[in-house]
Amino acid sequence: MSTEEHYDAIVIGAGVVGPCLAKVLAGQGRKVLIVEREWSKPNRIVGELMQPSGLLALKRLGMAQAVNNINAIQTVGYYISFFNKNLKINYPEKSILMKNKININPVPGALTSNKLSSDKLITDETLNMDDWEKSPFVRGVALHHGDFLMNLRSICLNEPNVTKLNGNVTKIIEKNGRVTGIEVADKGIFNASLVFSCDGIYSKFRKELSKDYIPSIGSYFIGLDLVDANLPAKYHGHVILGNHAPVLIYQISPHHSRILCAYRSNTLPKRNDVLNYLSNEVLPNLPNEIKPSFQKSYEESFDGSNIYKAMPNQFLTARLNDKPGFICLGDSLNMRHPLTGGGMTVGLNDCALMCEILSTLSNDELKDHSLVFNCMKKFHNERKGLDVVINTLSIALYTLFAADSSALTILQRGCFYYFLRGGECVNGPISLLSGLCPSSLTLFNHFFSVAFYSCYLNFIDRGFWKFPLAIWENIQALTTACFVLLPLLSKEIFS
């Protein structure tokens, strides 16, 4: 491949966001190079539950059929179990799209003559579109990440203006304070008007934006594959709460379900500690019907035949893309706790917004930093509506669900009983979580309603004689609620 060639855009990484970005930029008439170091199917425990808003963004990008023909499973809501109580929560009604003025229009350049490009899902072996159309509720989807990625990549590579390169990007090339290209190991230098870094969770290049642009690790997820698990609620994401950190389970194909067990640690947990945790704390608290498949998977992890995987749960607030010629997108720009399955939703919505904003520039104008910088300021401000909510909610919910103090335990219990009240107490939070209510004010309202409701329950629990104790505990709970939400929310809003 000639290193003399000039591209309008180079995209580093063909994970979730990279192929969507490359495909739509190409559809806008840009000459695009996409570079990936590992084109074969990955086997990761990330990106397997897509929220309704993520699916909507995928449609807007013309990549809807990436979820087809991979045995994906529809999701209609959540099942939450808290000690011996449980509840089911449905995703919002479709009318929420109108009510909250959610943009459902295809992004310019998304729908091309590329026959794989479409904004509509089709019926396949596991997804029935007639059924989807008839349902008054929005839906999400759970899938095998590797199969989904391979579909995204083939839709992208079917676009005539996209060139594929197999290689490890080792360096960003800069001339006179502007990024002009990349260096790829054993392949040479490639030049472009804009270089997009979509290199994911372990991004090597996000530090180009700032040396202190470093994510923090809050916990780990331990992932196991459950075979033929009998889940209490079909088509629901399961959240299991108790004295342990939260456990997530969702069916990702007819015979496989993913279980992700949060583990409180900011360093990679040792194998023995993980195995002890799984057998002593997770297993006893699982719903009985899940135990046999978990036990089997655990034993296979123990003897090494089906080893568990551990991934760090990182948090990184987005910053303005202000480096000339260089743009971060996806996990490279912004990360949150995976508990709420919001990563792909943020990445894909950001991708749609980025492509929409850049579509106003001609290919020549991509070289003009002042024009691109204006677009980046617009992008940075407009993305906040959705991203602030999803990011803040993910960390706040994780903190409550992984309660490790008496104040957090009061809030955790209050949160579950708040959902049990039904009506707006459950519709509001699920709209936030599914990405269809991009309003930080709504998040603020529900979070503090949970906090006050928790205090009310605590008063009742403590009774008349322990009223002074309840006052003291409730002051602690309310202070903790403020410390959980306010710094996060303000960091996200004012970054």
Binding site for ligand FAD (CB under 6 A): 12-18, 35-38, 45-50, 54, 168-169, 198-201, 204, 221, 311, 313, 330-332, 338, 341-345, 347
Residue (286 or 344) nearer to ligand FAD, CB? 344
Residues 269 and 278 sit within 8 Å (Cβ to Cβ): no
Nearest-approach distance from CB 452 to ligand FAD, in angstroms = 31
Buried-exposed string 116-126: b where 16+ CB fall within 10 A, e elsewhere: bbbbebeeeeb
Residue (36 or 473) nearer to ligand FAD, CB? 36
Nearest-approach distance from CB 22 to ligand FAD, in angstroms = 11
Nearest-approach distance from CB 304 to ligand FAD, in angstroms = 21
| Residue in the shown chain whose Cβ atom is closest to ligand FAD | 15
Phi, psi (degrees; rounded to nearest 5) at 188:
110, -160
Residue (224 or 451) nearer to ligand FAD, CB? 224
Nearest-approach distance from CB 482 to ligand FAD, in angstroms = 28
User: Which secondary-structure segment (H or E) carries 233?
Assistant: none
Nearest-approach distance from CB 264 to ligand FAD, in angstroms = 15
Start-to-end C-alpha separation, the chain: 40
**Beta-bridge partners for 142:** 49, 73
What is the torsion angle, in degrees rounded to the nearest 10, for the CA atoms of residue 319, residue 325, residue 330 and residue 334? -10
Nearest-approach distance from CB 140 to ligand FAD, in angstroms = 9
Residues 402 and 409 sit within 8 Å (Cβ to Cβ): no
Which residue, 72, 36, 34, is CA-closest to 54? Answer: 72
Residue (161 or 345) nearer to ligand FAD, CB? 345
Residue (219 or 458) nearer to ligand FAD, CB? 219
The pair of structure tokens assigned to 382 is 């407009």
Residue (356 or 387) nearer to ligand FAD, CB? 387
Residue (38 or 364) nearer to ligand FAD, CB? 38
What is the torsion angle, in degrees rounded to the nearest 10, for the CA atoms of residue 228, residue 232, residue 236 and residue 239? -100
Residue (27 or 200) nearer to ligand FAD, CB? 200
Question: Which residues are within 8 A (CB) of 73 and not within 5 positions of it... i.e. 6 or more apart?
Answer: 126, 141, 142, 143, 235, 250, 251, 252, 253, 254
Instruction: Report how far residue 473's alpha carbon sits from residue 406's, in angstroms, rounded to the nearest whole number.
Output: 8
Which of helix, strand or coil describes residue 460? helix
Which of helix, strand or coil describes residue 180? strand
Nearest-approach distance from CB 169 to ligand FAD, in angstroms = 4
- In total, the chain counts a number of residues equal to 495
Nearest-approach distance from CB 262 to ligand FAD, in angstroms = 9
**Helix pair 17-27, 343-358: axis angle to 10 deg:** 20
Q: Read out DSSP for 127-146? A: --HHHHHH-SB--EEE--HH
Nearest-approach distance from CB 132 to ligand FAD, in angstroms = 19
Query: How many Cβ atoms from other residues are within 10 Å of residue 374's Cβ?
Result: 14
Residue (246 or 414) nearer to ligand FAD, CB? 246
